[in-house]
Amino acid sequence: MTTASCAVNFDFLTSDSIVPGKARVHETRLAPGLEFAFVYPSSRPIALDTVRLFGTPASGSTSTPGALDAGLVIEEVSTSGSVPYLLARNESGLDFLLLAGQIVKGGKQNRGINLDVLVSAGASTQIPVTCVEQGRWNGGPRTRFQHGGIEPLSVRTMKMRDAHACRRADRAVVADQLAVWDEIMSMERAVGARSASHDLLATLSHSRSQRASRADAPTDFADPGARVEAPRTDLSQELRAIEEELRALEEEVHRITSALANAPIPGPDESASDREALLHRHGWCERQAARLRTRRTAILRDGPGGPGVVSLEAIQAADNAAQGACGMLVFMRDEFIAGDVFADPAWFQHVYHDLRDSALLSWDVVRRTKAGAARTRQHGCDAEAQARGIMQETVTGEWTERRTVGHGTNLLLTHPTLDGAMIAGHDRTPLHMLLGTRAVPSVFSGSRGSRRRDLRNFPME
Q: Kindly report whether the global pTM for this prediction surpasses the value 0.85.
A: no
Residue type at position 42 = S
Helical spans, DSSP H, in 369-431: 383-395
Pair 410, 263 in one domain: no
Q: In this structure, which amino acid lies at residue 30?
A: L
Total domains in the fold of the chain:
2
In a domain? residue 224: no
On whether both 152 and 178 belong to a single domain, the answer is yes
Q: What does DSSP assign to residue 407?
A: B
C-alpha span between 104 and 118 (Å, rounded): 15
Are 23 and 102 in the same domain? Answer: yes
For residues 215 and 168, is the Cβ–Cβ distance under 8 A? no
Residue 15 falls within a domain, yes or no? Answer: yes
Q: What is the residue-level pLDDT of the chain in tens, covering all 461 positions?
A: 556 677 788 888 866 555 554 448 889 999 889 999 999 998 888 889 999 999 886 654 444 444 444 689 999 999 899 999 999 999 999 999 999 999 999 999 999 999 999 999 999 999 999 999 999 998 776 678 999 999 999 999 999 999 999 998 989 999 999 999 999 999 998 888 988 999 999 999 999 988 887 654 544 433 434 333 333 334 566 667 777 888 888 888 888 888 888 777 666 555 567 778 888 888 888 888 888 887 766 655 544 445 678 888 889 999 999 999 999 999 999 999 999 999 999 999 999 999 999 999 999 999 887 544 444 444 446 888 899 999 999 988 999 999 889 999 999 999 999 999 999 998 889 999 999 999 999 998 865 444 444 443 333 33
Residue where one domain finishes, among candidates 302, 337, 356:
302
Domain membership flag for residue 223: no
Are 27 and 175 within one domain? yes
| 242 and 298 assigned to the same domain | yes
Domain closes at, from 279, 302, 325 = 302
φ, ψ dihedrals at 229, nearest 5°: -90, 115
- Does one domain contain both 411 and 266? no
Q: Is 434 exposed, middle or buried (0-12, 13-18, 19+ CB in 10 A)?
A: buried
Strands 85-90 vs 95-98: parallel, antiparallel or unpaired: unpaired
Decide which of 249, 283, 302 is a domain's last residue: 302
199 with 86, same domain?
A: yes
What residues contact residue 355 under an 8 Å CB cut-off, 6+ apart?
150, 328, 340
Q: How many secondary structure helices (H) and strands (E) does the chain include? A: 8, 18
Q: Are residues 327 and 448 in the same domain?
A: yes
The answer to whether 44 touches 343, Cβ cutoff 8 Å, is yes
* Residue 147 placed within a domain: yes
- DSSP β-ladder status, 51-53 and 95-98: parallel
Q: Taking the CB of residue 299, how many other CB atoms lie within 10 A of it?
A: 20
Question: Are 17 and 117 found together in one domain?
Answer: yes
Q: Determine, yes or no, domain membership for 222.
A: no
Cα–Cα nearest to 184, from 373, 437, 453, 448: 448
Q: Quick one: 373 and 429 in the same domain?
A: yes
Taking the CA atoms of residue 365, residue 366, residue 371 and residue 372 in that order, the dihedral angle to the nearest 10 degrees is -130
Full DSSP string of 13-38: B-GGGGSTT-SSEEEEEEETTEEEEE
SS3 177: helix
Same domain, 65 and 157: yes
- Residue 221 in any domain: the answer is no
Note the pLDDT of residue 65: 45
Note whether residue 225 is domain-resident. Answer: no
Dihedrals phi, psi of 285, to nearest 5 degrees: -60, -40
272 part of a folded domain:
yes
Q: For residue 381, give its domain range.
A: 5-213+309-455
116 with 255, same domain: the answer is no
